[in-house]
């Protein structure tokens, strides 16, 4: 066991729900919290903390709470009885840990997206193999104090992986992809709609002749949904961005592919204030070296390309999450520079031009970014750094733009 060092850290034990485990963490397993000073030309670091144990721990989603606290969801193999266990963390406005929890069983349980429900409790979507004989969409509701309220799984005998979540006035929507039970290789976009108790209202599978994986979804102002990801054309090595826009019942309004001659993937999507959409991910199409670059494109409400950009200083770059600021600028996180193999944050103007790109100085990847009520940015992801606790650790940052 590793004794932790902390700054203004309240140490609380994790609680394993849905099956206890002998390797559940004790207070001596808790995270090391480190506050660092200004680190980059455009960003000041207000909070930088690592969380986890001796194994692989990563954050996939971050939200702001009433009172300016933060909550992170992700996965861990440091704690719990399964291969991976769903992980949650709640802090106050200073980054002080209020509680940490793990949820899951003897299988694999991962969180992909978390949101705050209207009652200020948490809703988390991802994947589970603990509740059935196969991998299924996973939806659970957790109270503000970290207690499991209910959990649901959705899917078939196939491999079904939930990747994104939307909170609606009368329930929730979970997007992802399903693989063929016959070969576990063919893929199709999938969308599940539930009521406020997580009971399924309807589900749609978008069967196309090629392999498609949905990595992102946004609920749209017209009551529908936009699902974004990739299509891998059968019999080729070509991959393009693939998008389906639906109505409120999951019916297809339009679908489009985007990209060039190389591999192009959408990993994040956001609806913009003008009714269009920005998609972000990776591309190998727009440079002669076939490098993997950051890829961002804007489409209008009908799916017509408004602009597309590719940028980066080498290969292996990607965007994992993007959001729009009130002034129309865009903020994104992922691996935005190869300097220090680095977790980065970049800002674009409303036309997709790069305003700045900052390396946070950590070996890892940013996976989720938000702009909080005070105009600061909060980021989660995973890091492997000299300050980290295990193989990789959940990363939590709060940053102020200079």
For 102-135, the DSSP string reads: EE--SSBEEEEEEEE-TTS-EEEEEEESSSSSS-
* Structure confidence at residue 58 (pLDDT): 95
What are the residues whose beta carbons fall under 8 Å from the beta carbon of 261, sequence distance 6 or more?
Answer: 238, 285
pLDDT tier for residue 339 given thresholds of 50, 70 and 90 = low
pLDDT tens-digit readout, 106-132: 999 999 999 999 999 999 999 999 998
23 vs 53, which has greater pLDDT? 53
Report pLDDT digits (tens) over 146-195.
Answer: 999 999 999 988 899 999 999 999 999 999 999 865 455 678 999 999 99
pLDDT at position 388, please? 64
Query: Which top CATH class is 38-52+119-140+152-380?
Result: mainly beta
Q: What is the pLDDT of residue 360?
A: 81
pLDDT above 90 (res 198): yes
Instruction: Give residue-wise pLDDT tens across range 83-100.
Output: 899 999 999 999 999 999
Burial of 374 (0-12, 13-18, 19+ CB in 10 A): exposed
Q: What is the pTM of this model?
A: 0.89
Kindly state the percentage of the chain with pLDDT values over 90.
Answer: 71
pLDDT at 289 over 90: no
The model's pLDDT over 267-286, given as tens digits with 9 standing for 90+, comes to: 999 999 999 999 999 999 98
Percent of the chain predicted with pLDDT > 70: 85
Q: How far apart are CA 354 and CA 338, in angstroms?
A: 17
Calculate Rg over the CA atoms of the chain: 20
pLDDT grade, residue 209 (50/70/90)?
A: confident
Q: What confidence category does residue 36 fall into, taking pLDDT thresholds of 50, 70 and 90?
A: very low
Within 233-376, strands assigned E span 239-246, 252-258, 264-271, 277-283, 293-299, 305-311, 318-324, 330-337, 342-348, 354-371
Which pLDDT does position 271 carry in this prediction? 98
Please, which pLDDT band fits residue 384 given cuts at 50, 70 and 90? confident
Average pLDDT of 219-231? 98
61 or 11, greater pLDDT: 61
pLDDT of residue 189: 96
C-beta of residue 265 within 8 angstroms of C-beta of residue 230: yes
CB 118 within 8 A of CB 34: no
Q: What pLDDT is stored for residue 386 in this prediction?
A: 56
Q: What value does the mean pLDDT take over residues 246-273?
A: 97
Residue 57, pLDDT > 90, answer yes
Give, for 372, the enclosing helix (H) or strand (E).
Answer: none
Q: Are 225 and 205 in contact (CB under 8 A)?
A: no
What integer is the mean pLDDT of 34-54?
A: 74
Domain extents in the chain: 38-52+119-140+152-380
Q: Taking 50 as the threshold, does the pLDDT of residue 347 lie above it?
A: yes
Comparing 22-36, 81-95, 280-294, the range with the smallest average pLDDT is 22-36
Contact residues for 235 (Cβ-Cβ < 8 A; gap 6+): none
Of the candidates 49, 111, 101, 46, the one whose C-alpha atom is nearest the C-alpha of residue 79 is 101
CA distance 79 to 106: 12
Query: For residue 358, is pLDDT > 80?
Result: yes
Q: To the nearest whole number, what is the mean pLDDT of the chain?
A: 87
61-to-117, 179, 247, 320 alpha-carbon distances in Å: 15, 24, 26, 11
What pLDDT does residue 390 have? 75
Please give the average per-residue pLDDT across 204-212, as a whole number. 92
Does the pLDDT value for residue 294 go beyond 80? yes
């Amino acid at each position: 066991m590793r004794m932790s060092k902390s700054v203004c850290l309240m140490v609380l034990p994790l609680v394993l729900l849905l099956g206890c485990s002998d390797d559940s963490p004790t207070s001596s397993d808790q995270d090391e919290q480190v506050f660092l000073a200004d680190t980059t030309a455009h960003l000041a670091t207000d909070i930088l903390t690592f969380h986890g144990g001796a194994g692989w721990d990563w954050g996939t989603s971050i939200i702001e709470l009433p009172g300016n606290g933060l909550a992170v969801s992700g996965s861990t193999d440091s704690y719990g009885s399964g291969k991976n266990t769903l992980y949650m963390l709640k802090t106050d406005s200073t980054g002080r840990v209020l509680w940490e929890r793990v949820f899951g069983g003897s299988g694999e349980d991962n969180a992909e997206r978390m949101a705050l429900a209207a009652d200020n409790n948490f809703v988390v979507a991802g994947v589970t193999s603990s509740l059935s004989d196969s991998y299924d969409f996973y939806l659970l509701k957790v109270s503000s104090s970290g207690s499991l309220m209910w959990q649901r799984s959705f899917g078939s005998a196939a491999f079904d992986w939930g990747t994104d979540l939307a909170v609606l006035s009368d329930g929730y929507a979970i997007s992802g992809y399903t693989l063929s039970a016959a070969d576990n290789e063919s893929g199709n976009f999938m969308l599940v709609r539930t009521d406020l108790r997580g009971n399924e209202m309807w589900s749609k599978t978008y069967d196309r002749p090629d392999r498609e994986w949905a990595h992102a979804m946004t609920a749209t102002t017209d009551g529908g949904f936009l699902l974004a990801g990739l299509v891998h054309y059968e019999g080729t090595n070509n991959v393009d961005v693939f998008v389906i826009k639906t109505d409120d019942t999951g019916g297809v309004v339009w679908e489009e592919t985007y990209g060039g001659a190389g591999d192009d993937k959408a990993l994040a999507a956001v609806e913009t204030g003008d009714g269009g959409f920005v998609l972000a991910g990776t591309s190998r199409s727009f440079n002669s070296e076939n490098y993997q670059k950051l890829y961002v494109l804007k489409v209008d409400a009908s799916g017509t390309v408004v602009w597309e950009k590719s940028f980066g200083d080498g290969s292996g770059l990607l965007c994992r999450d993007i959001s729009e600021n009130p002034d129309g600028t865009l903020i994104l996180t992922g691996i935005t520079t190869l300097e220090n193999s680095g977790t980065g944050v970049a800002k674009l103007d409303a036309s997709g031009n790069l305003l700045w790109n900052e390396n946070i100085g950590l070996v890892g990847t940013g996976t989720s970014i938000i702009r909080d009520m005070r105009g600061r940015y909060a980021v989660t992801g995973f890091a492997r750094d000299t300050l980290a606790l295990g193989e990789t650790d959940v990363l939590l940052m709060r940053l102020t733009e200079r």
